[in-house]
Amino acid sequence: MSRTLGPFAAVLRRDLLLAWRGRADVLVTLAFFVVVVCLFPFGVGAETNQLRSIAPGVLWVAALLATLLSLHRLFAQDHADGTLEQLLLSPEPTVLWVVAKVVAHWIATGLPLVLVAPALALLFDVEQGALGVLVLSLALGTPILALLGAVGAALTLGLRGGGMLLALLVLPLFVPVLIFGAGAVDSHLSGTGADAHILLLGGGLLGALALAPVACAAALRIAVE
Amino acid sequence: MMKEMKRPERGKSLFRFAAPQLFYPLAGALAPWFAAAAAALTIIGLWLAFFVAPTDAQQGEVYRVIFIHVPAAWMSMFVYLIMAFWSAVGLVMNTRLSFMMARALAPTGAMFCVVALVTGALWGKPTWGAYWVWDARLTSQLLLLFLYFGFMALTEAIEDPRRADKAGAIIALVGAVNVPIIYFSVKWWNTLHQGASVSLTKAPSMAATMLAGMLVMALASWAYTIAVTLWRVRPLILERERHAEWVAAELDALEGKV
């Protein structure tokens, strides 16, 4: 294996293995997503037309909240047992293993949401042609949430009341993702085509992938200083 | 072998005021002047706004809220930019005073955000028929307020001042990168707000006295912001530098006065 990808693969493999060993924790995120989505019909009424029109927004907001709730786990355990300090002291580039941790975190918590979302969309009577767009928008959007959230998680590492603070810090930053994600499904349903939204989400993902790990690495150094 | 560093000559460069010890008395000396300027400009601006500027042909007297609303909205955005600027300077140059300036600015920026939102709501009710609409500029102003809240909550939650400073600086910069993205995303999402009435490239579409009133009010908010920030940074400096000798001397002098 090449020099740079070695540590990346090692951290990725370790984090995925940890997630697999503690899969009950990971499943809680998925269960939360499902339960929140299923609450909406009780709140707004089960009228089919109304459910159909709010479905993209509901699924997206629920995915966003589920991501938010899982974020604190990204670094907390490693911070508590000292792994994080060892990683920061290691000569490997911080940005590299930060990306590996975020990717592993997304595979464990984000990917299941993406896969379950179409089934939940059927509960809201979303037409089947839009399911592909929904999955694509979530597949591009939830990694952005994980990357932005990682910066917040690093900044609030080990603080009292960290969870609430994390929400306050990252939710305003999540708004553009929510707009383009839910907008993609809406514009597909209204017939204008989802290309523009999907392309913007893709661009956002690349931008976040380039910038967020740098900010996250700096935040981690500050947190353990 | 290390070469002996030559100390830069004191009294030459403006950068010497980056030292908290020198900035503290400077801030104390400048703040009253800016406060006086703010008071004078506010009186002139409000006089122009309420007695000189003509009644708007379409909106009637309601439009006069712009004399407070528009400067407050401008200021809330400028203050965030200045905050991000000081944060960047602090992270790059590792100057303590920059972080203190960023923290001293945040409450004023949040205050102007609230003023802009409240005056906007009061103007919106008679004009649009609703206190709040989910329009691009209103929504991005609201999100800006949340960014200020996030910055203040984070810096207050961290006890170690060095960590608080740097963490706050990072979130301020992340926010600054996101502000344009948030603005444009919200703009595409929904737009009702009337187009900008003041523009640098084309002739303003309002009476000269209206424009004058608004610009005077904008200057007043600048002066107010500077005065309040300088006043707010002084106790921050004392708190952070409390182990320094000059602070002890300063505090003794203060106690002597009381």
Contacts of A160 in chain B (CB under 8 A): 157
Residue A48 scores a pLDDT above 70: yes
pLDDT in tens, A56-105: 999 999 999 999 989 988 898 888 888 888 988 988 888 999 999 999 99
The answer to the question of residue B18 being in a domain is no
Q: Domain range for residue B213?
A: 45-53+60-193+205-241
ipTM of predicted complex: 0.84
Contacts of A179 in chain B (CB under 8 A): 185-186, 188-189
The answer to the question of residue B121 being in a domain is yes
The answer to the question of residue B32 being in a domain is no
Q: In whole angstroms, how far apart are CA A196 and each of A141, A186, B94, B138? A: 14, 12, 42, 24
Contacts of B149 in chain A (CB under 8 A): 168
Contacts of B158 in chain A (CB under 8 A): 159
Q: Which residue has the tokens 């002890």?
A: B248
What is the least distance, in Å, from the CA of B257 to any CA of chain A? Answer: 40
What is the least distance, in Å, from the CA of B147 to any CA of chain A? Answer: 7
The answer to the question of residue B25 being in a domain is no
By C-alpha distance, the chain B residue nearest A178 is B185
B177 touching chain A per CB within 8 A: yes
pLDDT in tens, B153-191: 999 888 888 888 899 999 999 888 888 887 777 777 765
| B150:A179 CB<8 A | no
The answer to the question of residue B26 being in a domain is no
Which pLDDT band holds residue A111 (cuts at 50, 70, 90)?
very high
The answer to the question of residue B255 being in a domain is no
Look up residue A222 and give its two tokens: 């500050």
The answer to the question of residue B21 being in a domain is no
Question: How high is the pLDDT of residue B190?
Answer: 62
| Listed residue (A79, A222, A217) closest to B163, CA to CA | A222
Residue A214 scores a pLDDT above 90: yes
pLDDT in tens, B120-145: 888 888 877 888 877 777 888 898 99
| Residue pair A150/A103 in contact by the 8 Å Cβ criterion | no
| A219:B167 CB<8 A | yes
The answer to the question of residue B28 being in a domain is no
DSSP bridge pairs for B60: B56
Spatial CB neighbours of A134, under 8 Å, sequence gap ≥ 6: A56, A59, A117, A118, A121, A126, A184, A185
B137 touching chain A per CB within 8 A: no
Sign of CA dihedral A64, A69, A72, A74: negative
A225 touching chain B per CB within 8 A: yes
Look up residue B130 and give its two tokens: 């609703």
Number of domains into which chain B is organized: 1
Q: How many CB pairs under 8 A join A and B?
A: 73
Residue B197 scores a pLDDT above 70: no
